Amino acid sequence: MANFQNSITDTDIIYLIQKNDSLGWEYLHDKFAPTLYIAILWVINDEKRSHEILNMMFSQFKTNVNLLETQNSLSKSLLYHTCITSLKILNIHDSRERKAINFNHQQQ
């Protein structure tokens, strides 16, 4: 993991990522992963799943660099996409649980 330095700005991180420099991804992870993890944990309320979603989010960011828009703020963009994805996952999970519960009640 890269030693994150406060002198690295969001613009610097995006520049490194656009140049396909792996250091950019390390800086991005070091700077934002703790905050994103807390946001995911707040939504999901499950530590193991929160780690899985965090890893999935960084994979999505690598696949679709356009998610890292910097027009307003890199942190806002990352947090927005992470929270939306977490809520979708939570909704899918809860929907499956509700269907399973309803199915079990109907059989009784």
Spatial separation of the C-alpha atoms in residues 94 and 71, rounded to whole Å: 34
Q: Flag whether the pTM goes above 0.85.
A: no
DSSP state of 19: T
Whether the pLDDT of residue 105 is over 60: the answer is: no
Q: Look at 38-42, 55-59, 93-97, 104-108 and tell me which has the smallest mean pLDDT.
A: 104-108
Q: What is d(CA 69, CA 85) in angstroms, rounded to the nearest whole number?
A: 16
For residue range 77-93, list pLDDT tens digits in order: 787 778 888 888 877 66
Sorted by where each begins, the domain ranges of the chain are 10-107
Say whether domain 10-107 belongs to CATH 2.60.120.
no
pLDDT: which is higher, 48 or 80: 48
- Assigned token pair, 59: 């994979």
Q: Which tokens is 41 given?
A: 């944990």
Q: For the CA atoms of 44, 82, 78, 75, what is the dihedral angle to 10 degrees?
A: -20
What is residue 100's predicted lDDT score, i.e. its pLDDT?
A: 43
